[in-house]
Copies of this chain bind each other. A is one copy, B any other.
Amino acid sequence: MSTMSKTGLASMLLGEQSPTQVASVARALQLIELVVNGPTDGLSLADIARSTNRSKSAVLATLRTLVDFGYVRTIDPGPKYLPGMTLIRFGDLTAGKDPLSAIARPILAELSEKSGLTVRVARNVGGFPVFIDRVDGPGVVRFHTPLGARELPHVSSAGKAILAELSDEQIKSVARECGLISRTKRTITTLSGLQEEMEKVRREGFATDEEEDVPGIFCVGAAIFDHHGQCIGAISATGVRRDLTPRQVNKLGKLVITHADQITKQLHGRKSTRGAK
């Protein structure tokens, strides 16, 4: 242990990694993450070398590679390192290539216009919702609605819409995995509460989030299906909480369902009776 090699130690500090990764690539990707999450005015080479416990020369070589490919860009003087245009390009390309968001986009725009709300589409990733596209509503209020991140399933309407299509077994499994973390006073934090809610979602055909994730914010969501009847995602409409009557909620729910069904139809999908694997 006393004669442990430097890089051996470095790879240990990197945390456990699955079999046969490429260490230098992993380091490079962590470096991208660092820059993306860095301050708006960028990070210096020394900053990065320090916070990654690597030599400046090694970090510089990696950074140069990333800059050449556009994942990172530099601003002078400094130079300071900022996220590059390739990230925007590939992000846009990835969303555009995904059949789900490609088809959903104009339908989201339509729903946003009709409802005046911010509308998003999520993909079902192992029972968790991952939003892949968004159309902001015209309102003055702006939401912090990141794309591409795995969101909590039990506090978002899109998440609930997806969950409601899973088997009881799968719901339990997802609930265990996310821990039913509490976000507000209205968050559902028990498995029995969640299963009750799922019953309601199945009855109504749409899911709601009434200030269960963020105080003052509500959402309404509905599921999307593929040609096997599998739930592959959901859309949701988000707005600031107003005193909606049950009647109004119902109306909005029906509107969201209509648009979700349009997407399902264009995907040549069909709504399944749930429970089927």
Contact check: which of B24, B86, B90 meets A22 at CB < 8 Å? B24
Contact check: which of B29, B61, B89 meets A149 at CB < 8 Å? B89
| Nearest chain B CB to A26 CB, angstrom units | 5
Which one of A25, A65, A68, A136 has the highest number of Cβ atoms from chain B below 10 Å of its Cβ? A25
Which one of A68, A93, A96, A125 has the highest number of Cβ atoms from chain B below 10 Å of its Cβ? A93
Contact check: which of B19, B36, B65, B106 meets A25 at CB < 8 Å? B65
Counted per complex, copies of this chain come to 2
A49 within 8 Å of B by Cβ? no
Do B109 and A138 touch across chains, with their CB atoms under 8 A apart?
Answer: yes
| Nearest chain B CB to A227 CB, angstrom units | 14
Q: How large is the interface on A (under 10, 10 to 19, 20 to 34, 35 or more residues)?
A: 35 or more
| Nearest chain B CB to A17 CB, angstrom units | 7
A142 within 8 Å of B by Cβ? yes
Given A86-B148, A91-B94, A142-B106, A62 contacting B25 (CB threshold 8 A): yes
Chain B residue numbers with a CB within 8 Å of A149 are: 85, 89
Contact check: which of B20, B90, B138 meets A83 at CB < 8 Å? B90
A3 within 8 Å of B by Cβ? no
Chain B residue numbers with a CB within 8 Å of A24 are: 22, 24-25
A140 to B123, CA, bound (A): 25
A44 to B90, CA, bound (A): 20
Do B91 and A92 touch across chains, with their CB atoms under 8 A apart?
Answer: yes
A132 within 8 Å of B by Cβ? yes
Do A87 and B91 touch across chains, with their CB atoms under 8 A apart?
Answer: yes
Contact check: which of B29, B83, B105 meets A65 at CB < 8 Å? B29
| Nearest chain B CB to A259 CB, angstrom units | 15
Contact check: which of B17, B18, B148 meets A87 at CB < 8 Å? B148
Chain B residue numbers with a CB within 8 Å of A60 are: 20
- CB-defined A-B contacts under 8 Å, sample of 14: A19-B64, A21-B64, A21-B65, A26-B69, A29-B71, A33-B90, A37-B93, A40-B99, A83-B90, A87-B90, A88-B147, A91-B95, A92-B147, A105-B136
Please list the residues of chain A having a beta carbon within 8 angstroms of any beta carbon in chain B: 17-22, 24-26, 28-29, 32-33, 36-37, 40, 60-62, 64-66, 68-71, 83-97, 99, 105-106, 109-110, 113, 123, 125, 130, 132, 135-136, 138, 140, 142, 146-150
